[in-house]
């Protein structure tokens, strides 16, 4: 893991991740969307047979209740208990985000906001080569807390037409019964546009590969989406008090995601930087995905030695990382200085993987600088806010002339008329 002399060299490399030409993939995505729109289930089955399993038909594309229950019964008792603890912790955190309808009344006016959950939500869970039950919990629980009535799930199956047991077990624990064996662009398009088999949803959440990301982006407007997720990233700010083994392990936890994941250390301690470098070498040799890790660290990893922790925070705010760790003495002293981060992990024992699975806050976070203006997935993403406006006659007459004056300033005489006729009455 290279030590950079200045931040510009590292920031330039990070920016390269978002400058990829996806025009060829986008052309394929648009064609699949067009086919789903025109041919519905026929196209859905055709693409699922091509990309996932030749065994999938309209009769078995929906996961049966027995398959879901079997998935739950297949996993170990220890994993079942772990999943239940995760569910409870994620649920308890998101309950604090729950909003209620509110109004206030004054002098013949009633103003307020009505909170309504979305009716139909689609959750995309990546699958095929890997399984991500954490996606099920993080995407479904806030929707359930918000009060969403209908939640469907799509996920790729393997060549034998089977969905991962751990994904099905997570769905079983959460009571999700409408699960479909399809992935990629075709699954996103089916949920966004609707087919006879898969009902159209109001919003799609969940990560995926470049085909999934571009499909969500292309269909945004016909359906709401959570975000267009980029590659995973972590930034650790550490001082001389940090444990180099902890820091190295957390940097590696993101590097193993894929070759364009980013792992960055900012520290005011040269000794710590060198110790982390050595520890990364030692740990990497023990890990299953060391080829991916090495490419990730070579391409988009790096260490910058700063004069102070405050300087490191300034650089971090510029990068706006998905995951930010403050492995420093008295980390709470720096919290107010953090402006841009998806999630903050404070102290030596708040491991990033804790946030991925068990802590409670959502792990669906903004990436590639978007923490400057986006927030983690939450209950707020599954509700609509509708304004409430009521005026009685006296209240309107107090302000009606101002309404008409404002409307005339914009040249909208019908708007003014709507106020004036009420005052005349």
Give the pLDDT score at 403.
Answer: 98
Distance CA(182)–CA(195), nearest Å, equals 13
Give the pLDDT score at 17.
Answer: 78
pLDDT tens readout for residues 181-192:
999 999 999 999
Place of tokens 């995407």: 139
Active-site residue (options: 323, 352, 363, 369): 323
Check if 415 is active-site: no
Q: Pairing relation of β-strands 343-346 and 323-327?
A: parallel
Give the pLDDT score at 18.
Answer: 72
Give the pLDDT score at 425.
Answer: 72
Give the pLDDT score at 166.
Answer: 98
Residue 228 tokens read as 């267009």
Cα dihedral value 54, 55, 56, 57, nearest 10: 110
Check if 322 is active-site: yes
Give the pLDDT score at 19.
Answer: 76
Give the pLDDT score at 199.
Answer: 96
Q: For residue 390, give the 3-state DSSP assignment.
A: strand
Active-site residue (options: 218, 233, 322, 325): 322
In the chain, which residues have pLDDT < 50?
none
Q: Do the beta carbons of residue 187 and residue 154 sit within 8 Å?
A: yes
Distance CA(112)–CA(118), nearest Å, equals 19
Residue 166 tokens read as 């751990």
Give the pLDDT score at 239.
Answer: 97
């Amino acid at each position: 893991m290279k030590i950079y002399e200045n931040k510009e060299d590292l920031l330039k490399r990070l920016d390269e991740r978002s400058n990829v030409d996806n025009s060829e993939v986008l052309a394929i995505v648009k064609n699949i969307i067009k086919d789903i729109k025109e041919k519905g289930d026929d196209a859905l089955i055709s693409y699922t047979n091509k990309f996932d399993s030749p065994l999938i038909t309209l009769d078995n594309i929906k996961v049966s209740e027995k398959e879901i229950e079997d998935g739950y019964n297949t996993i170990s008792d220890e994993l079942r208990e772990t999943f239940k603890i995760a569910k409870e912790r994620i649920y308890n955190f998101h309950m604090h985000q729950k909003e209620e309808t509110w109004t206030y009344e004054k002098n013949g006016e009633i103003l307020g906001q009505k909170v309504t959950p979305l009716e139909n939500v689609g959750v995309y869970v990546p699958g095929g080569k890997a399984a991500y039950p954490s996606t099920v919990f993080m995407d479904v629980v806030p929707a359930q807390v918000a009060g969403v009535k209908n939640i469907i799930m799509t996920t790729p199956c393997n060549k034998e037409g089977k969905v991962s047991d751990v994904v099905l077990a997570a769905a079983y624990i959460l009571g999700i019964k409408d699960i479909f064996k399809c992935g990629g662009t075709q699954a996103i398009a089916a949920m966004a546009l609707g087919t006879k088999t898969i009902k159209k949803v109001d919003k799609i959440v969940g990560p995926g590969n470049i085909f999934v990301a571009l499909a969500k982006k292309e269909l945004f407007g016909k359906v709401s989406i959570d975000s267009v997720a980029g590659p995973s990233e972590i930034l650790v700010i550490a001082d001389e008090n940090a444990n180099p083994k902890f820091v190295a392990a957390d940097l590696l936890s993101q590097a193993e995601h894929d070759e364009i994941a980013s792992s960055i250390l900012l520290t005011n301690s040269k000794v710590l930087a060198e110790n982390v470098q050595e520890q990364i070498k030692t740990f990497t040799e023990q890990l299953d995905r060391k080829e991916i890790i090495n490419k990730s660290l070579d391409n988009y990893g790096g260490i910058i030695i700063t004069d102070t922790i405050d300087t490191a925070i300034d650089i971090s705010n510029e990068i706006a990382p998905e995951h930010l760790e403050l492995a420093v003495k008295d980390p709470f002293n720096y919290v107010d200085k953090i402006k841009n981060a998806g999630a903050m992990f404070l102290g030596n024992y708040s491991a990033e993987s804790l946030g991925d699975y068990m802590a409670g806050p959502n792990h669906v976070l903004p990436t590639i600088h978007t923490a400057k203006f986006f927030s983690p997935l939450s209950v707020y993403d599954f509700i609509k806010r509708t304004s409430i406006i009521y005026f009685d006659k006296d209240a309107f007459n107090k302000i009606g002339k101002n309404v008409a004056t404002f409307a005339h300033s914009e040249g909208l005489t019908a708007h003014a008329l709507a106020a004036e006729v009420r005052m005349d009455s």
